[in-house]
């Protein structure tokens, strides 16, 4: 039985989304394509509340590079798509305060890549894939909910820790500002 339009469409979608994700991840891991590598990305991760920064940069880079490459190949599609979607959920959390559209710093791009990766994980890679060539040994039906459950739990924990850190930082800054204002008012009164 030959390949259908669906198979060709899935191949194109996998190659496009997987290639973009893999390239994006290699910026973090290796500094390729104008990226900052682990060191620079780790510093950035620290600055936006993902700590420890280097570990966060490594995890994000591996999820994007590995998930993207595996999606492009159509190999271990449930795990690859879930990992990439989880990384993009973490990125979307950073951009969420800026709204939806990417032109104003919003989560549009991360959200689109994450939903595309999730859709491919659920739909499957099609016949033009390594999963199909290998008899779907690492693309079984039970793997989809398992991959998403594990990824959702890890992503929720990481984003939750970041949210708590940012809240603690904001509260500490507000306290410092209040103390400075109180001291300024006390010195004005004398």
pLDDT of 146 above 70 = yes
pLDDT at position 53 is 93
Question: Does pLDDT of 189 surpass 90?
Answer: no
Q: Give the model's pLDDT for residue 45.
A: 95
Decide if pLDDT at 157 tops 90.
yes
Q: Is 31 exposed, middle or buried (0-12, 13-18, 19+ CB in 10 A)?
A: middle
pTM: predicted TM-score of the whole model, two decimal places: 0.88
SS3 breakdown of the chain: % helix, strand, coil, rounded to 5?
Answer: 80, 0, 20
């Amino acid at each position: 039985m030959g390949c259908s339009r669906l198979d060709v469409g899935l191949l194109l979608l996998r190659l496009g989304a997987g290639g973009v994700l893999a390239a994006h991840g290699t910026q973090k891991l290796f500094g390729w394509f104008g990226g900052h590598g682990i060191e620079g990305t780790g510093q950035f991760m620290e600055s936006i509340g993902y700590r420890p920064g280097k570990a966060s940069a490594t995890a994000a880079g591996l999820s994007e590079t590995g998930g993207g490459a595996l999606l492009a190949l159509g190999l271990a599609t449930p795990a690859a798509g879930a990992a990439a979607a989880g990384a993009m959920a973490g990125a979307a959390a950073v951009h969420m305060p800026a709204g939806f559209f990417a032109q104003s710093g919003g989560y549009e791009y991360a959200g689109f890549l994450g939903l595309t990766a999730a859709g491919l994980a659920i739909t499957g890679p099609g016949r033009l894939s390594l999963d199909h060539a290998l008899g779907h040994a690492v693309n079984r039906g039970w793997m989809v909910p398992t991959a998403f459950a594990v990824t959702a739990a890890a992503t929720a924990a990481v984003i939750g820790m970041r949210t708590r850190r940012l809240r603690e930082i904001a509260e500490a800054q507000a306290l410092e500002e209040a103390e400075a204002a109180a001291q300024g008012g006390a010195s004005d009164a004398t």
